[in-house]
Structure 1
């Protein structure tokens, strides 16, 4: 994947027309907690979801060339959005625009890009990783830019901005992604058309966010021209994902999701029912990025962390988890769904159930199982195909439904 990124970034340099990047080897951006850009005004300004509160031009330093900014126009934005419970909030994001003019038919397309799990600490925010050259999920960003498409990458609620990240809460993620797309089209410097065709793209947590954007768009952001949703490794039913990982190698992610849900929905019984180990683990999870989370509580069960067993079965938890279960609403655009048959984190059986629910609500769905692929292998070998599928939607080609 790194080799592919090197080749694509080299091609981007050629597209830039021989622009020589300026080296800033001695400059490291401040972490979000120390960067006033991420702190929204209090109270929030008047405006609609997706309206830009503030923006700034930045350098994007992709791996493996951390000292060299990529030859693209990069902007950080802080924009208005909406929480899972309907409260107004602010979300940070990054907008990337190729340096060359769009020569295709119609306006320049836009990818609404949702990153896979980054973590819960503010330093895990994609916008910070992109600036500091530590974001590992760059190959698909580079491929999209090479095609001449713009890309808008959401940080999600509470990642970078103050507060705890509402990790794995689809209602929050989908709104943040749609509002990041809105903000990109409303940012004058990006020079994007409000009617630009938009493709949602994401894997794992990002696949969940893209899927929710597809289900929410018709009622939440009907003005957006969403033409396709490419989603892979999707955690579509958090009850199923929690049961699959509880006590396994992905137990730390289950704890992270519990923190995310109890943040999004404060009425959920959680913090008051943690034992001392539970308090210690959740405190660390709130400040950790994904690699550290994976090491914090492997093979731990939620019951090991609480004074009351099976909190997830509480009616309040079940009600909120049901509200965040995918596949009950027909997506507003065609869907490309793919999943590894040997996924060790998000059960393949759940992906097949999501496929069936999509078909049941009349979705225009193309389903692709990836034989013998685990969680990371599936996106590594098939993510480019999902991105190219969005290219077909931008080109107005017919879909090939699997239902």
Structure 2
């Protein structure tokens, strides 16, 4: 049995032990708050902030515990919208968790989160599966990311003391890995979280096709992200096992990588090829090829308006993955606003696009319509 299943089982047993005599304890549902702790997050003097754990669902359908942060501006009420914020890549280790960095005041995406919170929106930030909670981070597993993002919003709406209403408007936003998560949330929401009143999705530079992204980065400065994605997919699915296809260097790398944060992933493995770590092309194996293809965005069309944006100069995630995603979602009848920008590299685009993205999201949360540009 996996660590994640053991933890979920422990939580259910613990709940049954504290139930009143003669009353059966109810199993936690996705989005239920399992713990909450008020924190003093530097910079968020205008808001109440909680670090939480909440129930979610793995990519394979198992109950899991995920951590995150809920930021609610003081004076929030039933009309206060909620933004589900899916962070970009932070790494694989627990110490990389956005919730820990928000509490410490050194979160790299803090200014982007402030863009929403200072407008008066509550913000629910997920850590994703396996960062900050027991188990491995299922990096780039789309369903796990989408579930965790949607359940962070449900948890924020169920958290006591916020003043928020379950019926309030919701937006889901994210960039890079967060764009992948936001895109998956958009595809999963109608069946996984149909009660959420989702008004918009902002999907920035998503790694919408992992095979294209892996080929683009193999041997480059960001090869470590490819290795991390291979690790993340491997720990997601019990039917996969990458170890028989690793050489000695690969086995050492996989052992080392599991607690690395983004800066380590980018520096340790820069310039390396996957062939340096493997005895054969893992993606040529049918079981691996099929599982990697399952993470591809575009198979289901979002029902709420989507802002999809990506820079032509993105050095990590090639813009063609978003071009293809736009075509897929538009072909399905989606309301998509696609902005193919000239804003430079990957990280610069996140910052430069933030004001206009936040404004677009704010318009949707205010009830203003958009026709898209399909």
Other-structure match for 1:215: 187
Question: How far apart, in 2, do the equivalents of 1:398 and 1:41 lie?
Answer: 41
Question: How far apart, in 1, do the equivalents of 2:128 and 2:227 lie?
Answer: 18
The answer as to 2:77 corresponding to 1:96 is no
The 5 A counterparts of 1:90-169 are 90-102=65-77, 107-169=79-141
Other-structure match for 1:36: none
List per-residue Cα deviations over 1:39-75 (Å, max 9, x = no partner): 956423212101111111111124xxxxxx6332001
Gaps of at least 5 residues in structure 2 are 1-5, 13-26
Question: How far apart, in 2, do the equivalents of 1:99 and 1:400 lie?
Answer: 34
Other-structure match for 1:25: none
SS in 2 for 1:188: coil
Bigger mean CA deviation after superposition, 266-275 or 317-326: 266-275
Question: How far apart, in 2, do the equivalents of 1:357 and 1:338 lie?
Answer: 15
Gaps of at least 5 residues in structure 1 are 1-38, 63-68
The answer as to 2:323 corresponding to 1:352 is yes
Question: How far apart, in 1, do the equivalents of 2:8 and 2:348 lie?
Answer: 42
SS in 2 for 1:89: strand
The 5 A counterparts of 1:3-402 are 42-45=9-12, 46-62=27-43, 70-102=45-77, 107-307=79-279, 309-371=280-342, 373-402=344-373
Question: How far apart, in 2, do the equivalents of 1:340 and 1:378 lie?
Answer: 7
- 8 Å CA contact retained: 1:201, 1:387: no
Between Structure 1 and Structure 2, how many residues are aligned? 355
Q: What is the deviation of 1:147?
A: 1.0
SS in 1 for 2:173: strand
- 8 Å CA contact retained: 1:113, 1:153: yes
Bigger mean CA deviation after superposition, 295-304 or 80-89: 295-304
SS in 1 for 2:198: strand
SS in 1 for 2:244: helix
Bigger mean CA deviation after superposition, 109-118 or 41-50: 41-50
Question: How far apart, in 2, do the equivalents of 1:296 and 1:167 lie?
Answer: 18
Question: How far apart, in 2, do the equivalents of 1:282 and 1:193 lie?
Answer: 44
TM-align CA RMSD = 1.4
SS in 2 for 1:152: strand
TM-score by length of 2: 0.92
Other-structure match for 2:17: none
- 8 Å CA contact retained: 1:167, 1:259: yes
Question: How far apart, in 2, do the equivalents of 1:274 and 1:41 lie?
Answer: 31
Structure 1 residue ranges (4+ consecutive) displaced by more than 2 angstroms after TM superposition:
39-45
- 8 Å CA contact retained: 2:307, 2:338: yes
- 8 Å CA contact retained: 2:89, 2:178: yes
Question: How far apart, in 2, do the equivalents of 1:391 and 1:284 lie?
Answer: 42
List per-residue Cα deviations over 1:212-257 (Å, max 9, x = no partner): 1000000100011111000111100111111111111110000000
Q: What is the deviation of 1:86?
A: 0.6
- 8 Å CA contact retained: 2:76, 2:162: no
Question: How far apart, in 1, do the equivalents of 2:338 and 2:256 lie?
Answer: 38
TM-score by length of 1: 0.85
List per-residue Cα deviations over 1:318-376 (Å, max 9, x = no partner): 21122211011011211000001011000111111111111111110000011152111
SS in 2 for 1:200: strand
- 8 Å CA contact retained: 1:100, 1:148: no
- 8 Å CA contact retained: 2:343, 2:352: no
- 8 Å CA contact retained: 1:239, 1:321: yes
